Structure 1
Amino acid sequence: MAGRTTTFSGSILEAPACLLGEGPTFDPHTGTAWWFDILGKMLVEYVLATGAVRQHPLPAMGSVLARVDSERQVIVTEEGLYLRQTGTGAMDLVTPIEADNAATRSNDGRVHQSGALWFGTMGKNAETGAGTIYHVVRGTVTVLYPGISIPNAICFSPDGATAYFTDTAVNKLMRVAVDPATGLPSGEPEVLVDHSGSEGGIDGAVCDTDGVIWNARWDAGSVDAYSPDGEHLLSLEVPAGKSTCPAFVGADAGRLLVTSAQEGMSREQLDRDPEAGKTFVLDHPVKGRFEPDYLL
């Protein structure tokens, strides 16, 4: 790692610890952050200004939320895409994906500027090659990359012309040219960052207005910043070893919210890592941007 590392500076949110915190996003229209406890089948709603928190049980393991409009959200689950009524929590399965495969679940995902959604599936026990990365828009499902073990780091450059993703089991951050109008790949993936053999695993990521990729590193308690050329710029310490995914939050998208996990940790490990599974807002300023709405 070439960039400098900063010690933790920020807030530990007064919200329930998650077995597997993932998929954070922020709705600037309501000032609300959302994230998942995948293994707990729970959606967490957190009002940033007041600290008000609500937990919403889900009918299936969910991992990605995208705003559709002021009244509706799409939630990606182990059964496919559910349409959720934001006010009531009512959910209807609208786009089944791998719903007949009890061995897999959804994992990381994000909406492209075109309104299309990329997301990945994986084996519930991280079986080798059991997952797939999909492109979904208006209910049309396209297989992009099959044979993925742990899909993560899905995000897009500010101009919508580049997509990033990884298979954490391989631990290489990939980039691929995509059509800005559709979010579909227009080239072949190439390695941007080779993290194989290094500490921790490449996990969830977001890309800011300068094209800097902010990537949570599993088992390393950090968020790493990479330039669009793959240069390591900075590591921000997170007070939980299994940091999972960042999201831009705040009125100007100027801070990073980061989820974490307790998955697979023994009682002794939890005693040594007491903030495991908690959610954090880091003080370090970023030039973030808000997620587009999903085109239903």
Structure 2
Amino acid sequence: MRIEVLVDVKTTLGEGPVWDVEQQRLYWIDSADGRILRCTDDGRELRAWDVGQKIGSMALRHHNGESAIVALQNGVHTLDLKSGELTLVIDPEPHLPDNRLNDGKVDRQGRFVFGSMDTLEDSASAKLYRLDADLSLHTLDEGIIVSNGPCWSPSGETLYFCDTWSGEIWAYDYDLATGNVSHRRTFAKVDTAGGGAADGCTVDAEGCLWQALVYAGKLVRYTPDGQVDRIIQMPVKKVTSLTFGGPNLDTLFVTSMAKPPLPRFPADGQQRGALFAITGLGVQGIAERRFAS
């Protein structure tokens, strides 16, 4: 196994990596600075888009490869990647000024599932949403502080999700036809003894879930029955999210933050904010879908 810095861009709050198999490009975001970034699997051809406000997550669109769906501070928008033009789709929480939209990902059928968060990371005012291809919005869960890590089992029939400060990863039964959820249960307990907290997740081809343990500098792999299978110690503490990519979907890309969002969180080393690539894991990921609109 080898861990290396792929792009040293010092993202204030790097998040949401997405590998697009059609373009063979990696997208990720700087949530705090309001940027989307893109590069090749070896870190070349770096490009960035400024979206003008905090961003929680993004996904490319199926019917328009030069367009994305983005969860911004003030609602879900479409983004024209050629012109940079943003168009509001829906703002689900205009009555909650201390909330913003956060982590999200596309399910196996092309629906965009994302959540919101309390920016002070204190109040359970956030929700988990699903945006369908017809741009209709549906609430899946609520009473959340910080939405993070939505991803699915290889079959798509189980949705994994975590509220960062709950100390748990949850699993839901996920209806493939409707995108509705049921039977929420605890998939795994998160080891928070070292000050870490649950952040971004992905699932590999073997059905194991990988999670970034932010503030603890660890990546944790869980078996399909929720047991810890592997722990990787990263060179920085504030790892935030991860995804598999590259031509063979066997490189694990890991984002990190250069500056903690609140003063109570710890500082970090020189490589803080970098995008990392881990090779030699002997594991492949699953190709991410585009938003079906």
TM (norm. structure 1) is 0.90
Counterpart of 1:169 in structure 2 is 165
Asked whether 1:190 is paired with 2:155, we answer no
1:233 Cα offset (Å): 0.5
TM (norm. structure 2) is 0.91
What is the rounded CA distance, in whole Å, between the counterparts of 1:76 and 1:160 in structure 2? Answer: 22
Distance 1:291 1:119, change over 3 A: same
- C-alpha RMSD of the superposition: 1.8
Return the match for 1:33 from 11, 15, 26.
26
Counterpart of 2:6 in structure 1 is 13
Structure 2 unaligned regions, length at least 5: none
Counterpart of 1:222 in structure 2 is 218
Return the match for 1:201 from 193, 197, 200.
197
Counterpart of 1:4 in structure 2 is none
Asked whether 1:285 is paired with 2:250, we answer no
Return the match for 1:212 from 208, 214, 236.
208
Give runs of aligned pairs for residues 1-296 of structure 1, distance below 5 A.
Answer: 9-49=2-42, 51-69=44-62, 70-137=65-132, 138-185=134-181, 187-195=182-190, 197-199=192-194, 200-261=196-257, 262-264=259-261, 270=267, 273-283=269-279, 284-296=281-293
1:228 Cα offset (Å): 0.9
Structure 1 unaligned regions, length at least 5: 1-7
What is the rounded CA distance, in whole Å, between the counterparts of 2:43 and 2:225 in structure 1? Answer: 39
User: What is the aligned length?
Assistant: 285
What is the rounded CA distance, in whole Å, between the counterparts of 1:16 and 1:169 in structure 2? Answer: 28
**1:187-233: per-residue Cα shift (whole Å, max 9, x none)?**
22101111265331111000112111011101111111001100110
Alignment partner of 2:166: what SS?
coil
What is the rounded CA distance, in whole Å, between the counterparts of 1:168 and 1:124 in structure 2? Answer: 12
Q: Is the 8 A contact 1:160 1:183 kept in 2?
A: no
Aligned letter for 2:251? R
**1:229-287: per-residue Cα shift (whole Å, max 9, x none)?**
00110012221101110011101211110101121588xx65x5111111101112322
What is the rounded CA distance, in whole Å, between the counterparts of 1:110 and 1:285 in structure 2? Answer: 24
Q: Is the 8 A contact 1:113 1:183 kept in 2?
A: no
Q: Is the 8 A contact 2:249 2:284 kept in 1?
A: yes
1:49 Cα offset (Å): 4.1
Alignment partner of 1:189: what SS?
strand
**Identical-residue share of aligned pairs (%):** 25
What is the rounded CA distance, in whole Å, between the counterparts of 1:50 and 1:258 in structure 2? Answer: 13
What is the rounded CA distance, in whole Å, between the counterparts of 2:223 and 2:67 in structure 1? Answer: 34
Alignment partner of 1:169: what SS?
helix
